[in-house]
Chains A and B, each alone.
Chain A
Amino acid sequence: MEEDLSNTKEMSGKILDTIAQKKHAAMIERLSNLHQSRLQQSISRKSDSNGPSPFESTKSFLDRFSEAKRSIQNELDRCRQVSDPDSKARLKSELEKISVSISDLERLVSENSYYLPSYEVRSSLKTISELKESLDNVNSEVLPKKKFAFKNKATKKDQTSVAQGPDVRVSDKVVAEKSNFQIRESPGFRNREGGILVKHFKSSEEGDFTLSDLNSCEVRLTGVLRALFIHRLRNCRVFVGPVLGSILIEEVDRCLFMLASHQIRIHHARETDFYLRVRSRPIIEDSSSVRFAPYLLFYEGIEKDLNDSILDGETGNWANVDDFRWLRAIQSPNWSILPDDERVSTVNISNSETPSQSEEI
Chain B
Amino acid sequence: MGLLSIIRKIKRKEKEMRILMVGLDNSGKTTIVLRINGEDTSVISPTLGFNIKTIKYEKYTLNIWDVGGQRTIRSYWRNYFEQTDGLVWVVDSSDVRRLDDCKMELDNLLKEERLSGASLLILANKQDIQGALTPNEIAKVLNLGAMDKTRHWKIVGCSAYTGEGLLEGFNWLVQDIASRIYVLD
Contact = CB atoms under 8 A, between A and B. Distances in A.
Bind each other: yes
Interface residues of B, number: 32
B45 A187 contact: no
A271 B73 CA distance: 24
Given A181-B133, A279-B43, A280-B45, A324 B26 contact: no
A172 to B, nearest CB: 11
Given A177-B141, A324-B73, A280 B129 contact: no
B80 interface: no
Contacts, number: 94
Contacts of B42: 262, 279, 310
Interface stretch (A71-79, A225-233, A343-351): A225-233
A170 B97 contact: no
B111 interface: no
A150 B99 CA distance: 38
A187 B131 contact: yes
Contact of B131 (A166, A207, A248, A325): A207
Classify chain A: how many residues form its interface, as a range: 35 or more
A296 interface: no
Contacts of B54: none
B16 interface: no
A262 B94 CA distance: 17
Given A187-B131, A207-B130, A245-B129, A181 B96 contact: yes
Interface in B19-57: 25-26, 42-46, 48
A106 interface: no
A199 to B, nearest CB: 15
Contacts of A170: 143, 146
Chain B interface mostly: loop
Given A170-B143, A181-B133, A280-B46, A206 B128 contact: yes
Contacts of B129: 206-208, 226-227, 245
Contacts of B46: 263, 265, 280-281, 283, 322
Contacts of A246: 26
Interface in B144-165: 146, 161
A227 B126 contact: yes
A279 B25 CA distance: 17
B95 interface: yes
Given A181-B137, A279-B42, A310-B42, A327 B48 contact: yes
Contacts of B140: 177
A248 B48 contact: no
A185 interface: yes
Interface in B70-121: 70-73, 94-97, 99-100, 103
Nearest to B24: A248
A291 interface: no
A181 B141 contact: yes
A281 B43 CA distance: 9
Given A177-B140, A324-B72, 9 more contacts: A185-B96, A212-B97, A245-B129, A279-B43, A280-B44, A280-B46, A285-B72, A324-B48, A324-B71
Interface of A: 166, 170, 173-174, 177-178, 181, 185-187, 205-208, 210, 212, 226-227, 229, 231, 245-246, 248, 262-263, 265, 267, 279-281, 283, 285-286, 310, 322, 324-325, 327
5 contacts: A177-B140, A227-B129, A263-B45, A285-B71, A324-B71
